[in-house]
Amino acid sequence: MKTLYAKIIKKAIYILFIAFVLIYTIPFPINKESDAVEIKLDDPAYLETHKIYISGKYRLNLFTDNTFQGEISVPEYELTSNEMERLQFIKGIDHESPLVYTYKEGVDTDGRLITKYYHFGKIVSRPLLYRMVIVLYEQYEGKDGDYGGHFNNNTGHCIVPFVSDREEALKILEKYDILPSK
């Protein structure tokens, strides 16, 4: 009887442990600094080098989308130093997320904070920001002062970290099917 009782308790603890692991996700801290290249898809001569700074927490989720809360900044693009919205990598669409920054513009007549949004582009990556690509949007200012944009598959700009030349960047873009159709 005592061994049966011990087996039941062991199984209950085992089930609770598995449930805990499946339900609760532990964030992974990410602190990276990387050299990156910016290329323009239609111009083989265009190549700019950048530094990218990434710091924050990445959550792997088994049943929902993975998320990253933190900061991704490219010093050459001043607005990336502002507060970044949480990235939610949607599993069904190639693990990508819009890259949106918020900035405070002032206070309105009622004393409420005026917040504007800057849609910098989107991030496509593998889990834990492995083989990340920043697809830059062509920018325009909306009626309400927010900045938005879209990506042009033929002439767009992409920033690819952890590579040093255009050929390496194009290989990664090809894996994500970002290159223009021929």
Residue 15 domain flag? no
Confidence of residue 168 (pLDDT cuts 50, 70, 90): very high
Tally of structural domains, the chain: 1
Tens of pLDDT, residue by residue over 118-165, are 888 899 988 888 889 999 988 766 666 656 676 777 678 999 999 999
Residue 100 domain flag? yes
Residue 66 domain flag? yes
Residue 96 domain flag? yes
Residue 8 domain flag? no
Rounded-to-integer distance, Cα 90 and Cα 66, Å: 7
Residue 181, pLDDT score:
61
Q: Which of 40-44, 92-96, 125-129, 168-172 has the lowest mean pLDDT?
A: 92-96
Q: What angle do CA 175, 74, 61 make, to 5 degrees?
A: 55
Rounded-to-integer distance, Cα 39 and Cα 50, Å: 11
Which residues form the domain of 147?
Answer: 26-175
Pairing of strands 138-141, 147-150: antiparallel
Residue 3 domain flag? no
Residue 180 domain flag? no
Tens of pLDDT, residue by residue over 32-85, are 999 999 999 888 999 999 999 999 999 887 777 888 999 999 999 888 888 898
Residue 103 burial (CB count, 10 A): 15
Residue 124 domain flag? yes
